[in-house]
Every structure is written in structure tokens, then in C-alpha cells.
């Protein structure tokens, strides 16, 4: 059996450091002894949340996404805020901020590499069940894009049709809704705990257990 090529990094330089992402340029050893440039967008880990009610309806939020210059319907999602924040911690925060909800049950639906040919970003998509609304008198604020964020509840089967007909375009939203629809067939019996280790990477560092 032929041994796999190692793709050693011969040199690496920092190209850009932004508020959220960084870019580095690597010189990588290729099979045959040549080397090639590989530019990598470094992003912190992120979470998406499929918030599913007992009646089979899921929460979608609509917000402006500047790179594509339009508003998209999506599941709640967001970046990890710190290296110590776990996926469930981030999921609970985002569900509170974007949906005004809390959940009593959390499971992992899927882990996805959003664009592994150019970025190290890993997103964990969680299933949140046992939903309750935040009390009206509880402190709850919406900032920036969240200030005009729309919310809507849609039937899970209908939301899957929206994925297939092009109504929904956000990648993590499509992955989460399709995974939730499949998982429902087994009454969610095969899902991993939300605390399952993952391979998230924060810009400039790596981790094996992903508990960041």
C-alpha cells in the first residue's frame, strides 16, 4: 500500500489579521518534490442551532449578509466568543440573542467544514428542543443586525422543501435542516451529545479535543 504524502509546510507568512478572520499563505511540499502556494482563511469555530418545537416547527431568522448583499433566512448561528466557550455555551447564547428562547435538550446534529479548500472553519450544528420563551420582564437586548432581525416558525418538512427549491441558500442552514429531518426518522436516537469533542480551530492555534 502506497504511503500517503505528508504535504509538509515549508514556509508560512501572515497576510492579514482582521477583527474576525485572518489569512496566511503557506508554501506546501507537493508530491514529486515541487512546492505550491496555499492561502488559508483562518476562522474561529461557530455553531448553528436547529430549534425544533414539539409541533414540528423550526425557527428561522432573516438578516442582512453583506458579502452577498442581501437578506437571508437562516437558522440561528454565531461564532464562538472565546477560546473557553463550548459549542453548547455558544448555542445557548445565540438562541437567546436571536430567538429569545431557551432549550432544555441539546444534541449534536452534524459537524461541517464550510470550505476546506480555502478555510479551516468548522461549524457544529446543534439540535435544541424543549423550547421556552424568555420572560418579557427579563433583560434582553438586540444589537446591530439583530435589531432588525425577523423571526418565523416553519414546518420542518416545508423548510426542507425550501432547501431543495432554492428558497434557503445558507449552507449551514441547509445542512442543519436536512440533518434534523433525517434524525427525526429515528426519533433522534442516533444523535451525539452536544458535549461530544470536535475539531474546531481558532485562528493561529489548533486543538484535538475542540473544547474551546
Assess whether pLDDT exceeds 70 at residue 203. Answer: no
Contact 49, 128 (CB under 8 A): yes
Alpha carbon dihedral 165, 166, 172, 177, in 10-degree steps, equals: -20
* CB atoms closer than 10 angstroms to residue 100: 17
Q: What digits encode the pLDDT tens for the residues 76-109?
A: 999 998 778 899 999 999 999 999 999 999 999 9
The reply to whether the predicted model has a pTM over 0.75 is: yes
pLDDT value of position 135: 65
Active-site residue identified among 85, 146, 150, 158: 146
Q: What digits encode the pLDDT tens for the residues 120-177?
A: 999 999 999 999 998 654 544 555 556 689 999 999 999 999 999 999 999 999 999 9
Task: List the beta bridge partners of residue 127.
Answer: 50, 107
Task: Decide if 85 is catalytic.
Answer: no
Contact 127, 52 (CB under 8 A): yes
Looking only at the bridges linking them, the beta strands covering 35-42 and 22-29 are antiparallel
CA 102 to chain centre: 18
Amino acid at each position: 500500500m502506497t504511503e500517503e504524502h505528508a504535504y509538509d509546510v515549508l514556509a508560512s507568512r501572515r497576510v492579514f489579521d482582521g477583527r474576525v478572520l485572518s489569512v496566511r499563505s503557506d508554501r506546501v511540499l507537493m508530491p514529486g518534490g515541487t512546492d505550491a502556494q496555499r492561502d488559508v482563511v483562518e476562522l474561529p469555530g461557530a455553531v448553528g442551532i436547529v430549534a425544533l418545537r414539539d409541533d414540528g416547527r423550526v425557527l428561522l431568522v432573516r438578516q442582512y449578509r453583506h458579502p452577498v448583499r442581501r437578506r437571508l433566512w437562516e437558522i440561528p448561528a454565531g461564532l464562538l466568543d472565546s477560546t473557553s466557550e463550548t459549542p453548547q455555551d455558544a448555542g445557548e447564547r445565540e438562541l437567546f440573542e436571536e430567538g429569545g428562547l431557551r432549550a432544555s435538550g441539546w444534541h449534536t446534529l452534524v459537524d461541517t467544514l464550510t470550505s476546506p479548500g480555502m478555510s479551516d472553519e468548522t461549524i457544529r450544528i446543534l439540535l435544541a428542543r424543549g423550547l421556552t420563551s424568555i420572560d418579557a420582564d427579563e433583560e434582553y437586548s438586540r444589537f446591530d443586525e439583530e435589531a432588525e432581525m425577523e423571526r418565523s416558525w416553519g414546518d420542518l418538512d416545508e423548510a426542507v422543501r425550501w432547501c431543495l427549491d432554492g428558497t434557503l441558500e445558507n449552507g449551514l442552514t441547509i445542512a442543519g435542516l436536512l440533518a434534523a429531518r433525517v434524525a427525526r426518522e429515528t426519533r433522534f436516537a442516533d444523535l451525539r451529545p452536544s458535549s461530544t469533542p470536535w475539531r474546531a480551530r481558532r485562528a493561529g492555534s489548533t486543538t484535538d479535543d475542540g473544547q474551546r
